[in-house]
Amino acid sequence: MAEFDGLDELDKKLANMAKEFPIKRNQFLAQEAELLIGQAKENTPVDTGALREGWHRTRAHAGQIEIYNNTEYVNHVEYGHRIKNHKGEWTGKVVKGKKMLHIGMDTLKKNYPEDAESILEGLLK
Q: Please report, for the chain, the start and end positions of each structural domain, with discontinuous segments joined by +.
A: 16-69+100-124
pLDDT in tens, 50-92: 999 999 999 999 999 999 999 999 999 999 999 999 999 999 9
* 3 φ, ψ (degrees, to nearest 5): -115, 145
Cα→Cα distances 34→43, 65, 85, 88, 104, Å: 14, 11, 39, 39, 11
CB atoms within 10 A of CB 107: 16
CB atoms within 10 A of CB 49: 9
- CA–CA gap between residue 111 and residue 25 (Å, rounded): 16
pLDDT at 2 over 70: no
- Quick one: 44 exposed, middle or buried, by C-beta within 10 A (0-12, 13-18, 19+)? buried
- The pLDDT value recorded for residue 16 is 83
pLDDT in tens, 12-44: 888 888 888 899 899 999 999 999 999 999 999
Kindly give, in sequence order, each residue whose CB lies less than 8 Å from that of residue 45, ignoring residues fewer than 6 positions away. 51, 77, 98
* Stated pTM of the model: 0.81
CB-based contact 57:67 (threshold 8 Å): yes
